[in-house]
Amino acid sequence: MRVCSILPKAFLLIGLLGLVVSAQAQIGVSPYSSQGIGNLIRPTLVHNQGMGGIGIGNGNALFINFANPSFLYKNNLSSFDVAFSVEQNNMQREEESVSRTSGGLRYGVFSFPVITNRWTMSVGVAPFSVVSYRIEESLTIGNDSNAGVQVIDGDGGINAASFASGFRVVGNLGIGLRVSYLFGPITETRTVLLNNLLAQRTELEDQVYYSDLLFEPSISYGIKLGNQTLLNLGATFQPETKIRATREVVLSTIPNDPRFAQSERIDSVGSSVTFPSRLGVGISIEKSLKYLVGVDFVTQPWEDYQSFSGGNDGMRNSYELSVGGQLIPDITSVNSYLARMAYRLGFFYRNTPFAVENRQITDFGLNLGFSLPMSNLSSTNISLEVGRQGTVDAGLIREDYFKVSAGITFNDRWFIRRKFN
């Protein structure tokens, strides 16, 4: 075992995974994230995102199979995948338009084989949900319809530190399990700003901190259609789970001189939040390291969601359809770098769990991706996503967004003991 080579990479891994947690709240801006636990982030890596997010029904040896752990047994190399994202979001409501840019470290995932071609494990940190919004409302006091404004800011989100294991039972039948530790706060702050310059500012901070385990078993199966062609089937299931949560509400009054600001905790209580079950299925056809075409479908009954206060925040049942594929012209080519690259294209359509004015919000987009080969079967991965969420009908908000994600997959034989004759 190459200890001297492993230690620096292990310390780098730990440091980067820690940065994911601190950077998570910088990613994603959406007024619709005020409902439920915010925008949900599917467990997909950059190479999946370039294909519209498919990953439940496909996996290969060069990239960590994060979406469906039952495919992990195909990863016979020790792999480390880390990625960054930058998103430009333009929000429009009737004649008003606002643009915002967000970004940061997206995730860090590490996998290693326990028994080659049989059993592989992975650990990682990635966002589970993201909350980021700002809403301004006019205040009416008595006959004064322009007495001031109330500003509602939401931020935070839930992180997932996950451990996954994938095991090949027999032939191309695999089973897997992901155990995720969910943690993190979601905070909503309401600030009252009166036009009277002598009036003090009032802030009400409502924070819910989540902390619990989430289990997700999975299964995969490959049917041989030819010498190197497989029909892959996969499924993941997350059962309905009650997640421990602690709520704290703090009321602050801030006069013109902030030295005399006062804060009072008016509520602090522990309870639970019910996350609904989630079922994902996928199918793909692939020729090993040549081409892949696949479809994923995910459904989740968010009407079964129960918030800290016992309601479901007007959430609706949701589903997502992803279609995509990739092509590698000739991975063994020695004369053409372009022939060794992976080219990806995908499309997705989501019926999100968010509903406003009795309208369920939809989200759809197009993805484009590439993998640039490096030494030791490693690669630099890039995905581009352009999409639209919501509508301007009935006074709602339409979001047009463009996201660039870039990551690096390091592949090596870190934990394989060399034999000498």
* Residue range 145-177, pLDDT digits in tens: 677 888 899 999 999 999 999 999 999 999 999
pLDDT tens by residue, 277-309:
999 999 999 998 899 999 999 999 999 999 988
Q: What is the mean pLDDT of the chain?
A: 87
Percent of residues in the chain assigned helix, strand, coil, to nearest 5:
15, 60, 25
Contacts of 311 (CB under 8 A, 6+ apart): none
pLDDT value for 395: 83
Measured CA to CA, the distance from residue 115 to residue 384 in angstroms comes to 35
Instruction: Quickly count: other Cβ atoms within 10 Å of residue 167's Cβ.
Output: 19
Tell me if 264 sits within 8 A of 248, measured CB to CB: no
Strands of 142-239 (E only): list them: 144-170, 173-194, 201-224, 229-238
Res 360 pLDDT > 60: yes
pLDDT tens by residue, 56-112:
999 988 999 999 999 999 999 999 999 999 999 998 987 788 888 888 888 999 999
Res 419 pLDDT > 90: no
Measured CA to CA, the distance from residue 73 to residue 65 in angstroms comes to 9
**What domains can be seen in the chain, in order of their start residue?**
3-412 (2.40.160.60)
- The stretch 389-415 carries a mean pLDDT of 88
Of 28-37, 204-213, 316-325, the one with minimum mean pLDDT is 28-37
Measured CA to CA, the distance from residue 48 to residue 45 in angstroms comes to 5
Of 27-31, 142-146, 160-164, the one with minimum mean pLDDT is 142-146
- The stretch 347-364 carries a mean pLDDT of 94
pLDDT value for 135: 84
Res 180 pLDDT > 90: yes
Res 7 pLDDT > 50: no
